[in-house]
């Protein structure tokens, strides 16, 4: 009998997920605008038969560029270039429902799905923070619940647009001079609270129907949204218990929303720091920690926790009077995770910055390839994960080490494919998900 | 002495610019979503040492898909894929100032410029038509003057964003742990009539500084806009006299706007239908005309002229009581060109549709390669053009024929480069234009 298969996503971030990674001798500080760097990473991930790779994003520049490489190429555009440099791997771009219009964004993802032969995915974000809001004509960020209400309507409109062409709308009858069948075009004619979108998309239905829908918010609003729309979920979990609880909760919410529990894949993030011995792995981790500039870390932490500059003391604990998550309008679940981590492990600000340097709240794990594989297998078999979001501390070397040393172990254990194979072509197929039916074709059968 | 050099742009449109091109045996009716089709076209144009290739665009699907291939991949996304398949040719994408936000669009073009190594160009359009407006929350299209006022502010914001990083803002001091110099980041802090954009772009300044700015509106508003911003202008001109007048007018407006007349390149469109003899060329043209479905053509013409469906008679003249251009809020100059063409040549609706089938108002020219080259040279030497927008009636064969048969003649006459050469890398360099200085670096020197 075939073992249940693990799903792996490579979360790519310039020189790596550790904030000090750019300072290592191997790192190129200009990598963030270098296509060749990303092509190299994509090809390493494809060698490791990953399901997909992924780019985070936000439409703003943080207040200081001193600390670490800042700014990034726009993900859909970059992934289109990577589509031409790869054959099999899925391509997941982050894009905001708060700062895009549905027509333009639906079209861009449809284009990426056509160009990549059905390998497009959309990590749906609502974008926390006033910096982004002020780049789009607003004075402050919209409230958290407001952002999610807009996101839900955005999705409904996008789904109408992606379904606005039936799969067989193109007739291509040269002799009769008839190219398309107007009866198989379904303009959304949407008038809602946030959007009015009248006409059909100007891109035919794509290989996947629409991009794989991915989501990463773990707040109450985020989980409700995921249960309704998401087909894959990225999540930051610090302990196996928390991860199991999150997994069970999300699966049951998905069933309650009328969907199949297996049609939402849960992928916790892990920052593997690999060494040939445990001591070497810890030494590698220490090199990274030693490169952290703590004044930068304090600034960053104060921003994450919505504290005024100068509030935190490097060798003191977090303040005891932090507001509850309900008072936070930004990244709610990340806020709670950081505060709980500091309190549970009684960390000073300096220690907390060290822990966050690698994963910004994701599980950081230093160990041998066997130990990394063991952790992955344990979580996978304990009802905590359908796969993992692999977040190398340093790129490309950390991804290369994972593919060279951890992937073979996962393959030996029967958890991961040894090659992509010919029959499964689209990203959705790789994740074991069905191609979505067109809402206009399904409807008559449901009557 | 070196002959003044001709600039060539390949205007790519699915199966060709003739509306019936998709019905020919050689044409693939699914070409509009096929990356391989566009890669093939780009490589043909690069073989012909064209300066650039270009994709038109509008964010809407026309009311019927029956007539001809409808919809198109989003141009910036598609050109990013073409950037990886080519080495030298410039990549010009159309994008609308009416239906985008400056931050997102400036970022996408910056991304394309980085990925292509400085080969990005932006054809700036304001997008006529209610169909597009209704896809973006509006009931009707904004007035013509209003669209251009927004376009001007859009450009000012985009230029601020592209200049928000000085070229040497990245310090990359690994030892000190300092990546960027915050003093060399200049947030726009723009508050205007249409846009408020606070923060710096999250992409460093690009190889070209910003994309080549291209424009194609020939109305009064359009020409004013071009004189102020455009570095290349695509234009539809039916006669040498009209083209010379347009050329002289635009150059003098550009000088009046305080710019160098040589820093705006004027490229009329030409639809060459090539045959080894004049008779063969005319026969090729007739094959295309014979494939026109006239009921489609009447519908299309009624839309272009803002007439109610059923107004036009196929074998009658245009109505004599058409409104003046000033009453048109859509594509003003195209309206006038079509009306004047019909009246000057006393064309019936059927004949007019035949004439427009190939070029939608652009100069259609059927002839031998020598005759095509003669026309190009005549216009080029008569103060009517700095180059041409080549619009093959059928693709890829029409572009292939131009490159195989006309390009060698232009090269023999010393009008066109024989190879790209190593030193000129960016699109702006190919067009003989300087790299723009950063407004924040120039300013002190001007004080």
The CATH number of the domain holding residue A43 is: 3.20.20.30
Q: Would you tell me which residues 100-119 of chain B have a C-beta closer than 8 angstroms to some C-beta of chain A? A: 100-101, 103-104, 107-108, 110-112, 114-115
Q: pLDDT, tens digit, for every residue of B1-46?
A: 578 999 999 999 999 999 899 999 999 999 999 999 999 999 999 9
Contact A203 B33 (CB under 8 A): yes
pLDDT at B447 over 50: no
Tell me the average pLDDT of chain B.
Answer: 93
Cα separation values, B138 from A72, A88, A323, B391, Å: 32, 40, 41, 33
State which residues of chain A have pLDDT below 50.
445-447
The verdict on residue A318 lying in a domain is no
Flag whether B144 is marked binding: yes
ipTM of this predicted structure: 0.94
The verdict on residue A387 lying in a domain is yes
What distance in Å separates the CA atoms of residue A357 and residue A18, rounded to the nearest whole number?
5
The verdict on residue B120 lying in a domain is yes
Chain B closest CA to A325's CA: distance in Å?
Answer: 27
pLDDT at B444 over 60: no
Chain B closest CA to A379's CA: distance in Å?
Answer: 36
| Cβ–Cβ contact B287 with A under 8 A | no
Q: pLDDT, tens digit, for every residue of B296-312?
A: 888 888 988 889 888 99
Q: Where are the alpha helices (DSSP H) in A116-209?
A: 130-133, 144-162
The verdict on residue B325 lying in a domain is no
Which residue does chain A place closest to B195, by CA atoms?
A: A137
User: pLDDT grade, residue B119 (50/70/90)?
Assistant: very high
Least CB–CB distance from B81: residue in A74, A80, A103: A80
Cis amide linkage into residue A295, ω under 30° from 0: no
DSSP state of B98: S
Contact B135 A195 (CB under 8 A): no
Predicted confidence at residue B443, as pLDDT, reads: 55
Radius of gyration of chain A measured on its C-alpha atoms: 22
The verdict on residue B353 lying in a domain is no
| Cβ–Cβ contact A91 with B under 8 A | no
Q: pLDDT, tens digit, for every residue of B326-362?
A: 887 777 778 888 898 899 999 999 888 888 877 777 8
Residues of A in contact with B68 (CB under 8 A): 179
The verdict on residue B289 lying in a domain is no
Tokens representing residue A384 in the block: 């905590």
Tell me which residue range forms the domain holding B219.
Answer: 7-270+363-446
The verdict on residue B434 lying in a domain is yes
Q: pLDDT, tens digit, for every residue of B163-213?
A: 999 999 999 999 999 999 999 999 999 999 999 999 999 999 999 999 999
| Cβ–Cβ contact A140 with B under 8 A | no
Least CB–CB distance from A111: residue in B73, B112, B137: B73
Predicted confidence at residue A14, as pLDDT, reads: 94
- Stretch (H or E) spanning B272: strand B265-274
pLDDT at B115 over 90: yes
Contact B179 A65 (CB under 8 A): yes
The verdict on residue B346 lying in a domain is no
Count Cβ atoms within 10 A of the Cβ of residue A153 and give its class: 0-12 exposed, 13-18 middle, 19 or more buried. middle
| Cβ–Cβ contact A296 with B under 8 A | yes
Residues of B in contact with A198 (CB under 8 A): 131, 134-135
Domain count, chain B: 1
The contacts of residue B432 (CB under 8 Å, 6+ apart) are B5, B7, B262, B265
User: pLDDT grade, residue B295 (50/70/90)?
Assistant: confident
pLDDT at B218 over 80: yes
Least CB–CB distance from A198: residue in B30, B81, B135: B135
Chain A closest CA to B68's CA: distance in Å?
Answer: 5
pLDDT at B146 over 60: yes
């Amino acid at each position: 009998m075939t073992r249940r298969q693990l799903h792996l996503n490579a979360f790519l971030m310039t020189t790596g997920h550790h904030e000090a990674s750019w300072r290592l001798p191997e790192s190129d500080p200009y990598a963030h605008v270098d296509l060749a760097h990303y092509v190299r990473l994509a090809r390493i991930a494809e060698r490791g038969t990953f399901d997909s790779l992924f780019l985070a994003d936000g439409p703003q520049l943080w207040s200081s560029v001193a600390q670490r490489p800042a700014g990034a190429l726009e993900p859909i555009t970059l992934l289109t270039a990577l589509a031409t440099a790869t054959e099999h791997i899925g391509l997941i771009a982050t894009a905001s429902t708060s700062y895009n219009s549905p027509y333009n964004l639906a079209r861009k993802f449809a284009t990426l799905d056509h160009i990549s032969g059905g390998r497009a995915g959309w990590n749906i974000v609502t974008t926390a923070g006033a910096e982004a809001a002020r780049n789009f004509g607003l004075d402050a960020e919209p409230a958290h619940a407001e952002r999610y209400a807009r996101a839900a309507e955005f999705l409904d409109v996008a789904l109408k647009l992606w379904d606005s062409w039936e799969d067989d709308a193109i007739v291509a009858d040269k002799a009769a001079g008839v190219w398309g069948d107007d009866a198989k075009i379904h303009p959304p004619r949407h008038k809602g609270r946030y959007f009015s979108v009248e006409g059909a998309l100007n891109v035919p239905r794509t290989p996947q129907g629409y991009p794989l829908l991915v989501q990463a918010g773990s707040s109450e609003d985020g989980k409700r949204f995921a249960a309704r729309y998401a087909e894959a979920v990225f999540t930051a979990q610090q302990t196996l218990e928390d991860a199991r609880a999150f997994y069970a909760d999300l699966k049951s919410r998905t069933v309650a929303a009328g969907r199949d529990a297996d049609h939402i894949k849960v992928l916790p993030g892990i920052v593997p720091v690999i060494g040939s011995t445990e001591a070497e792995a810890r030494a590698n981790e220490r090199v990274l920690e030693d490169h952290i500039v703590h004044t930068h870390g304090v600034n960053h932490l104060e921003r994450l926790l919505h504290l005024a500059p100068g509030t935190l003391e490097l060798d003191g604990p977090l303040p005891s009077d932090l507001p509850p998550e309900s008072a936070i309008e930004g990244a709610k679940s990340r806020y709670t995770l950081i505060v709980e981590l500091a309190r549970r492990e009684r960390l000073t600000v300096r220690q907390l910055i060290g822990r966050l340097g690698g994963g910004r709240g994701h599980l950081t794990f230093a160990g041998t390839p066997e130990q990394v594989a063991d952790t992955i297998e344990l979580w996978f078999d304990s009802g905590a994960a359908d796969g993992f979001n692999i977040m190398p501390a340093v790129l490309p070397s950390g991804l290369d080490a994972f593919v060279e040393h951890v992937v073979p172990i996962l393959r030996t254990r029967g958890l991961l494919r040894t090659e992509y194979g010919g029959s499964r072509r689209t990203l959705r197929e790789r994740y074991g998900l069905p191609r979505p039916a067109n809402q206009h074709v399904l409807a008559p059968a449901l009557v």
